[in-house]
Amino acid sequence: MQKVPVSLWTLLAGLVISAISIWIGQNHSLLPLQASQQAPLVDGFFNIMFTIAIALFLVVEGTILIFLVKFRRRKGDDTDGVAIEGNTALEIFWTAVPTVIVVALGIYSVDVYNRMGGFEPAGHVHSPVAHVSGSAMAATLNDESSSTTAPTIGIGGTPKSHGKPADLVVDVKGIQYAWLFNYPETGISAGELHIPVGADVQLNLSAGDVIHSFWVPNFRLKQDALPGIPTELRFVATKPGTYPVVCAELCGGYHGSMRTEVIVHTPEDYQAWVTENQLAQKQDLHEAVAVNPANLSTSEFLAPHVHEMGITAATLVQLQK
């Protein structure tokens, strides 16, 4: 019986390994739902790396298993193993292949980063960031440390949108242990990020104490917020929904609880949210941490409505007495 050449076995094994690794690399469920224009770029790069990793794993582990069987110690064989001094061609091969893979992945990653806008932060000037605890609460605090320096670090506009102003600009500040969002165009402050689907959104990031990292897994985007150094994150959300925002930089004892949400609205729902919060926050509640109607006196509760009631504040006080 004629022996099958090793080269043919190697070719067959290569075809099988390639088919398995490509299928797994394109059909895994390791990543969360894509929800931004940048996400497919990152996922494409990840899938290629994962495909290569699967192929290398199968080659290495498969070779180990084959050698365990083929070169196992036979019963009664106490002789030494075959002395092998080396194989120059094999050593060149296993050095050259990883080198080519690493260089190719490096070039590809630079292209992906550029297409995401990593080389072009737009440099939008920061606006003061207000401290707040939740979007429905009309509460603000002073922020005398807000940066007015244009960000030159981060992920800016894509090559197609570079040089164009973003549709929505939001100032984001990280503090131990919360994310604070301020909308300079509308004056809204919130404890979570609200954006319309399809809008080109620019986040101006800053930190009030230590380094934080703004990470939205569904957007495949992460950008550090640095004390004294403004950074930028620009993206376009593609699917309405609520997605987690996580601090991905160890920032203290309660780092694990530094979480919030980005809520992607339809344009109509976003406009309704803006209108609702502008009404809720139009009163001058400077320095207030929170306003609980149950803690207000009758006159304090009705004071904002005296004009509609057709009476003066003094009359309201007399009525209460």
| Distance (Å) of CA 300 to CA 246, 294, 306 | 39, 11, 10
The H or E element spanning position 98 is helix 88-116
Which structural domains are found in the chain, ordered by start? 9-69+91-116 (no CATH), 153-290 (2.60.40.420), 296-321 (no CATH)
The H or E element spanning position 317 is helix 313-320
Closest CA to 214 of 246, 173, 262, 182: 246
Closest CA to 201 of 183, 188, 222, 224: 183
Q: What is the pTM of this model?
A: 0.71
pLDDT at residue number 304: 64
Question: Which residues have CB under 8 Å from 162's CB, separation 6+?
Answer: 117, 120, 122, 156
Q: Residues of 156-165 as b/e, b for ≥16 C-beta within 10 angstroms?
A: bbbeebeeee
Count of other CB atoms within 10 angstroms of residue 230: 25
Token pair, residue 56, equals: 């290398």
pLDDT at residue number 129: 41
Contact of 317 with 301, CB cutoff 8 Å:
no
pLDDT 10s digit of each residue in the chain, 321 long?
567 787 888 889 889 999 999 999 999 989 999 999 999 999 999 999 999 999 999 999 999 999 899 888 888 888 887 788 888 888 999 899 999 999 999 999 999 999 988 877 654 444 444 433 344 333 333 343 344 556 678 888 777 777 788 899 999 999 999 999 999 999 899 999 999 999 999 999 999 999 999 999 999 999 999 999 999 999 999 999 999 999 999 999 999 999 999 999 999 999 999 998 888 877 554 544 555 666 666 656 666 665 555 666 556 555 555
Contact of 268 with 285, CB cutoff 8 Å:
no
CA 227 to chain CA mean position, Å: 19
